[in-house]
């Protein structure tokens, strides 16, 4: 699989080469040590630790679904009703504990009743080992779906429907007062056929999310400088410039992800995650050189709309709340121009009409009672 070059949460260093190498080697050792500690904190199914208990119920650990810097994610079965869920476990040896933060974001989102977020069903702790949250189980992520398609390409109809749902998901996250700050295809997944949610797209992973609203304040004041947050390929220009991100920057990252869904290969596809300046230059070129934008989208019949969205996003400043409905209307305009009807099937389920959720226009931008 072609990996997405990651570049998260780092600061550029002005150190000399040998010092840098030494630092890197030490960091690598430390990472290895922490990873071993973290692994030993996780449930030990091979040693008979097959059940995890919370105050609400008992979960049998089935398969491991994924691993991250935090610990691991398991598929579990709830004993009481034999339903399957995902259990995300965070070792106590993780330096930056984020699970409690993720749980807070999910609780706010569950109150919103948006379809785009996995329900948080339980949470708990195993003393001196790990904390866990239990979530609705979702299906394949958008990255894995695309790279399994012929020529790793979505049809335009599918790319536009994904654009519509992911935009709505991000808007809803903003409505409860959080930025995501790591918008990328692996952080969105479809639901599962078993519970008929496989046409719904869910937003995952709130590890880098940041609370931007508090009582009576629609947006926190920006810090003068920030560490880079996000993934180079999809990072907004503000993130490249180490500036504070706001709602518009999540939507700019969404634009790069959306554009990739349409054309498959972004001009900076082969750049390494560490080459942030190179990627930034390519992103700037899309703005400065009309032909670059034209060449990217003309064959896909949506140059006007993609160009209009990016021009609009670039006109926004830190404080502005984006007009999500305007962006959505551009997607609809592209769909109409290219004969993509509302129920035309999507690439991951070709045999039936599409029955995914429709974007709801006119929603309140900020849900005050959730702040
Ligand atoms: N609700 C879920 N249902 C099914 N699988 C899940 C669920 N949540 C997470 N996973 C799986 O676990 C993996 C890691 O989870 P998640 O994306 O939340 O962690 P992460 O913080 O992104 O990890 P990383 O450190 O790699 O960024 C996902 O890629 C996915 O495969």
DSSP string, 23-77: HHHHHHHHHHHHHHHHHHHS--GGGT--EEE-SS-EEEEEEEEEEETTEEEEEEE
3-state secondary structure of 257: helix
Best mutation site among 6, 35, 68 for ligand 1 pocket (most ligand atoms within 8 Å of CB)? 68
Q: What's the gap in Å between 271 CA and the centre of ligand 1?
A: 24
pLDDT at 11: 45
CA dihedral 152, 156, 162, 165 (to 10 degrees): 180
Residue 107, domain CATH = 3.30.200.20
The ligand 1 atom nearest the CA atom of 187? 17
Answer yes or no: is 184 a known binding residue. no
Q: Looking at the structure, do residues 125 and 163 belong to the same domain, yes or no? A: no
Q: Which range is most confident: 25-39, 183-197, 205-219, 225-239? A: 183-197
334: Cα separation from own chain's centroid? 24
Task: Report residue 60: phi and psi, to 5°.
Answer: -90, 130
ipTM of predicted assembly, 2 dp: 0.94
Residue 187 pLDDT grade (very low, low, confident, very high; cuts 50, 70, 90): very high
Q: Which of 29-43, 252-266, 322-336 has the lowest mean pLDDT?
A: 29-43
Higher pLDDT, 244 or 215: 244
Q: What's the gap in Å between 187 CA and the centre of ligand 1?
A: 8
Within a domain: 91: yes
3-state secondary structure of 222: coil
Tell the residue nearest (CA) to atom 17 of ligand 1: 205
Encoding tokens for residue 137?
């189980």
Within a domain: 237: yes
Tell me how far apart the alpha carbons of residues 336 and 342 are, in angstroms, rounded to a whole number. 10
Encoding tokens for residue 289?
């050189």
Tell me how far apart the alpha carbons of residues 84 and 196 are, in angstroms, rounded to a whole number. 14
Q: Looking at the structure, do residues 127 and 182 belong to the same domain, yes or no? A: no
Does residue 2 have a pLDDT over 70?
no
Within a domain: 12: no
Ligand 1 pocket member 94 (CB < 6 A): no
Which domain covers residue 110, as residue numbers? 45-136
Residue 13 pLDDT grade (very low, low, confident, very high; cuts 50, 70, 90): very low
Q: What's the gap in Å between 142 CA and the centre of ligand 1?
A: 12
The predicted-structure confidence for 315-332, as pLDDT tens digits, reads as follows 999 999 999 999 999 999
Residue 1 pLDDT grade (very low, low, confident, very high; cuts 50, 70, 90): very low
């Amino acid at each position: 699989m072609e990996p997405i070059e990651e570049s998260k949460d780092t600061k550029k260093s002005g150190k000399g080469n040998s010092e840098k190498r030494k630092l890197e080697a030490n960091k690598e050792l430390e990472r290895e040590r922490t990873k071993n500690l973290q692994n030993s904190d996780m449930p030990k199914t091979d040693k008979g630790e097959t059940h995890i208990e919370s105050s609400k119920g008992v979960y049998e650990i089935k398969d491991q679904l994924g691993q991250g810097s935090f610990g691991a994610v398991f598929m579990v079965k709830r004993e009481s009703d034999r339903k399957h869920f995902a259990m995300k476990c965070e070792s106590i040896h993780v330096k930056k504990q984020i699970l409690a933060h993720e749980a807070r974001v999910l609780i706010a989102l569950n109150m919103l009743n948006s379809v785009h977020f996995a329900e948080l069903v339980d949470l708990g702790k195993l003393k001196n080992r790990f904390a866990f949250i239990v979530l609705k189980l979702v299906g394949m992520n958008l990255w894995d779906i695309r790279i399994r398609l012929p020529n790793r390409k979505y049809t335009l109809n599918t790319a536009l429907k994904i654009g519509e749902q992911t935009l709505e998901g991000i808007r809803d996250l903003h409505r409860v007062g959080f930025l995501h700050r790591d918008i990328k295809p692996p952080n969105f997944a479809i639901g599962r056929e078993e519970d008929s949610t496989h046409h719904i797209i869910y937003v995952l992973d709130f590890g880098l999310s940041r609370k931007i609203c508090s009582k009576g304040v629609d947006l926190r004041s920006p810090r003068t400088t920030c560490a880079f947050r996000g993934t180079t390929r999809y990072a907004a220009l503000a993130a490249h410039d180490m500036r504070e991100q706001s709602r518009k920057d999540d939507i700019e990252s969404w634009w790069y992800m959306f554009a990739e869904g349409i054309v498959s290969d972004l001009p900076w596809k082969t750049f390494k995650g560490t080459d942030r300046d190179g990627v930034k230059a390519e992103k700037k070129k899309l703005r400065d050189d009309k032909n670059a934008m034209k060449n990217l989208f003309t064959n896909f019949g949506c140059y006007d709309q993609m160009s209009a969205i990016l021009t609009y996003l670039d006109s926004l400043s830190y404080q502005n709340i984006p007009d999500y409905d305007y962006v959505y209307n551009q997607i609809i305009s592209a769909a109409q121009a290219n004969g993509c009807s509302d129920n035309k099937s999507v690439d991951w389920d070709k045999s039936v009409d599409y029955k995914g959720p429709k974007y709801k226009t006119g929603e309140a931008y900020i849900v005050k009672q959730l702040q």
